[in-house]
Amino acid sequence: MKRLLVILSSFVFLCVFTSSALAEWGLYGHARMATWYNMEDEDLSASGEDDVDFSEWLQTNARIGANVTTGDVNGRFEYGTSGGNANIRLLYGSWNFGKGTLLVGQNYTPLDCHMMSNRVYGEDDGFLTIGCPYEGRLAQIQVIIGDLTIAAISPSNTNDLGVDEENGTVDIDTYIPKLEVAYNIKQDNVMATVYGGFNAYKVGYTPTGSTNQHDYELYSGIVGARCMANIGDSYVNVCLFYVMNAANYGFKFDGNADAAEIKDGDVENSASLGGALVIGSKIDDKMAIEAGAGYVQHDVDSAKDPDGTLAVYAQLRYTPIPAVCMVPEVGYVDNMDDETGATEGSKIYVGAKWQINF
């Protein structure tokens, strides 16, 4: 009996090893360091005075990963360094079933705009918190048919809308996944994408000493478009979007007043709009320049003013060899006024990202 178990175990191991050996593994890694001087004015600085600070760190989007290919079934995994610990950035498999592709796992969402800008401030932030929608890498089931992508995504950021939990009980119900769709339009050197998303959940609130539950339906969604055009050695990228209840949908934009609230027993929705413009050009085989501007604004009916954020930057990208990249950059971020009309301050930053791929 033991001999039979040994033979069976060896057979299973041989099958797994053989099938793994048939797959093509493309391993990769990115070491990314950030070095920045931040010059904050008195309205932004925690000390209440103009402040200058230098910082240097291993970026959390430094990564190791692999692309795995075996016939019609492919996969990818990628680990980052968030908080100094390994964390899963990407982990998915895909199956080409002939008429399209089925993708299952954690991946970028269909409306993701993280490639619109190469702004490196922070940790290759682009304009992901200002002028371009980005909700992170989420667990999802995706179907891609030609230029159309449809995804059912794990519901995110289902908060309690600020109901009084100390004087009652809260029950949050999700009954559908977050749904997103994107359609690409390609022509010559231009690629445009129109996209949309919808998310819904319910908050039930029962005051202490009462048996009557108050139900609040929360809907959030986005519509937008982006366009990326190449003109010789130059390019222009544009992104525009409108979001209802951005924070409830799962976005992490700069600024406040981007989430729904309960006011006088009713759900008060927020509205956010924004966009970005990026231009760049190749100088030679080793150098390129890029500049851009991004803006986002949030508004709710009860707020005195909209809460906006504006950012601009310029950079030089130097690539002495294909695996090495150094990007000095200078930029300005204006947090403008908050929803009460109070000035939130601004900052100028200068520094660089240092990256070696292996």
Mapped to the 3 state alphabet, what secondary structure does 174-192 carry? CCCCEEEEEEEEEECCEEE
Q: Give the pLDDT band of residue 300 (cuts 50, 70, 90).
A: confident
pLDDT reading at 51 higher than 80:
yes
> Would you state the pLDDT for residue 205?
79
208: left (phi over 0), alpha (psi -120 to 50) or beta: beta
* Distance from chain centroid for Cα 281: 25
Does residue 47 have a pLDDT over 90?
no
Is the pLDDT reported for residue 252 higher than 60? yes
Local structure of residue 166 (DSSP, 8 states)? G
Is residue 6 assigned to a domain? no
Taking a C-beta distance cutoff of 8 angstroms, is the pair 58, 12 a contact? no
| Count: domains in the chain | 1
Decide if 2 is inside a domain. Answer: no
Average pLDDT over residues 277-286: 97
pLDDT at 2 over 60: no
For the record, the structure tokens of 207 come out as 């005051």
- Is pLDDT above 70 for 12? no
Residue 207 lies in domain = 24-357
- Gyration radius of the chain over CA positions: 24
pLDDT at res. 15: 41
Grouping H, G, I as helix, E, B as strand and the rest as coil, residue 345 is coil
95 contacts: CB under 8 Å, gap ≥ 6: 72, 73, 101, 102
Residue 3's pLDDT band (cuts 50, 70, 90): low
Q: Is the residue at 227 inside a domain?
A: yes
Instruction: Confirm whether 12 is domain-assigned.
Output: no
Buried b / exposed e across 147-165, counting CB within 10 Å, b at 16+? eebbbebebbbbebbebee
pLDDT above 80 (res 113)? no
Give the domain CATH number at 313.
2.40.160.10
* Rounded mean pLDDT, 288-307: 87
Q: Specify the pLDDT at position 293.
A: 97
DSSP states of 299-335: EETT-SS-EEEEEEEEEEEEEEETTEEEEEEEEEEE-
Tokens 């990326």 sit on residue: 228
State the pLDDT at residue 49: 83
The percentage of residues in the chain with a pLDDT greater than 70, rounded to a whole number, is 90
Mean predicted confidence (pLDDT) in 59-71: 94
**Residue 224 domain-assigned (yes or no):** yes
Residue 133 has pLDDT above 80, yes or no: yes
Under the banding of pLDDT at 50, 70 and 90, the label for residue 20 is low
User: Is 216 part of any domain?
Assistant: yes
Indicate whether 230 belongs to any domain: yes
Helix or strand holding residue 39 (H, E): strand 24-40
Asked whether residue 78 is domain-assigned, the answer is: yes
pLDDT value for 21:
54
